[in-house]
Every structure is written in C-alpha cells, then in structure tokens.
Homo-oligomer: A and B are copies of this chain.
C-alpha cells in the first residue's frame, strides 16, 4: 500500500535563492519515510516496543527541480522489496501541478537495540501487505568508496552536539549530509539546478564524538565525494554528489 504525504517548504527550509536547501529536501524525504512507516504500523515508535529500530543504510535521490519557498510538494512512497536484511523504500516528489521534481530510493535495515545487530526481515509479520509491485524510480543507491585523508581537498571537524540528535537519540541522518554539503566551495549550492546524491551509512556516532569531514572531487562535472571519519579514521558516512549548475550543459 503506497502512501502520499504533503509538505510545505517553510521559510526555515530555504537559502538566499529562496529555494529549499538540498538537505531540507532530503529531510522531507526522510519524514515521508517515517510518516509512512508509522501509518503502516511499523514505524520507529512501534518497533521500539520490541526494542527494535529501523536504521538507514543507503540513500539516493535525484532532484530535477529544487522547490521554492512556500511551495507545496507531495511525496508518494512505497516499499518495493524485502531482502533478508534490507528493505527498499521508494519516493517520487511532485509539485502542485503533478509534475515530477525528484525521486529517491532508500535501503533500511532493522536492528535489535540491545545487541545492535541486524534482524532477519524474513521473519517480519505482515510485510507482504506493505509491498507494492512497482520498480524503483531511479538507479538504487550506489556503494561509495572510502575517502582517505591524503585524497581530501578540504577537511573540517565537528563535535556532535545536542542539536544534531533526533527523537531516536541518534544523529539525525540528514545532519551527516548537511555537514558534508557545508564543506562545498561557496556558491555551488546556490547555483545548483539539479543534483543526484548517494549516501552510505556505515557506522554510528554519539553525542560528544568529534568527527572529521573530508571532501574530494571526482572526474566529471560537479562530482564531489565525501567521507566522515571517527577519531580512529573509520568511515562513519560516505557520499557522492553530482551537481548540475546554472548555465552549464550535460545531464546529472
């Protein structure tokens, strides 16, 4: 059973171009995923009763047009697949005219909060009811390789603080992405017309941890690769973004 959720781009979501920040669009995608899981009876709150939780494993999105301040968007979402350890949730973003402005594919694992181990989804009840037989709207999330300190063109650090933590007591998934985007050269985000991004969530970090955010560039127009390292140099989260900027040609 698919779900359809409406959101409004609020003043707090936009940058100086009066269009939504990309991290805000990603936040709305995450909210639709949460809202739909809640509706289907397997949201975080339901799972917590069994000491289980969803963990976002991979996230990919293509934004074809960035919505404007006060614009209303609809996010249509459905679960297309249950693997043994990972489930796939898809999203299509449309504007008020029904035109598609973006799409998203996410992979989720379910973990036991006591052992932090992934659970076997083949034992999940009622999952067949939630599956919609419709293929993913874009290429599924790609694996992103590790970025080393030697490769990084830009390095910054961040201590995990209260405002980074979500209702689940973890770092909000989209905060990692925000930290990465904040390392981009000035003007890239303001002049972005379209973007594809792929995020891999590898490990968790906790309040007070100090992380290093690394950015490098890859061949191709506007392609940036990011990695967030813990103090031991382990990857926490990796991403690749491909921006199509204003007044340039070529696809995303």
**Hey, what's the 0/1 contact readout for A12-36 against B, CB within 8 Å counting as 1?**
1011101001010001000100100
**A72 and B6 alpha carbons, distance in the complex (Å):** 17
Contacting pair B31 A167 (CB below 8 A)? no
Contacting pair B186 A207 (CB below 8 A)? yes
Q: How large is the interface on A (under 10, 10 to 19, 20 to 34, 35 or more residues)?
A: 20 to 34
Chain B residue contacts of A31, Cβ below 8 A: 10-12
Copies of this chain per assembly:
2
**Hey, what's the 0/1 contact readout for A144-178 against B, CB within 8 Å counting as 1?**
00000000000010010111011111001000001
Q: Which of B14, B156, B172, B184 contacts A162 (CB under 8 A)?
A: B184
Q: Which of B12, B27, B169, B184 contacts A27 (CB under 8 A)?
A: B12
With A27-B12, A168-B16 given, is the CB distance from A178 to B207 under 8 Å?
no
> Is A181 among interface residues, defined by CB-CB distance under 8 A?
yes
Interface residues of A in 28-46 (CB under 8 A from B): 31, 34
Contacting pair B12 A162 (CB below 8 A)? no
A182 to chain B, nearest CB (A): 4
- Which residues of A are interface residues toward B (Cβ below 8 A)? 10-12, 14-16, 18, 21, 23, 27, 31, 34, 69, 156, 159, 161-163, 165-169, 172, 178, 181-182, 184, 186, 189, 207-208
- Going nearest first, the 9 A-B pairs with the smallest beta carbon separation are A161-B182, A16-B169, A14-B167, A163-B178, A162-B182, A163-B182, A18-B167, A11-B34, A162-B189
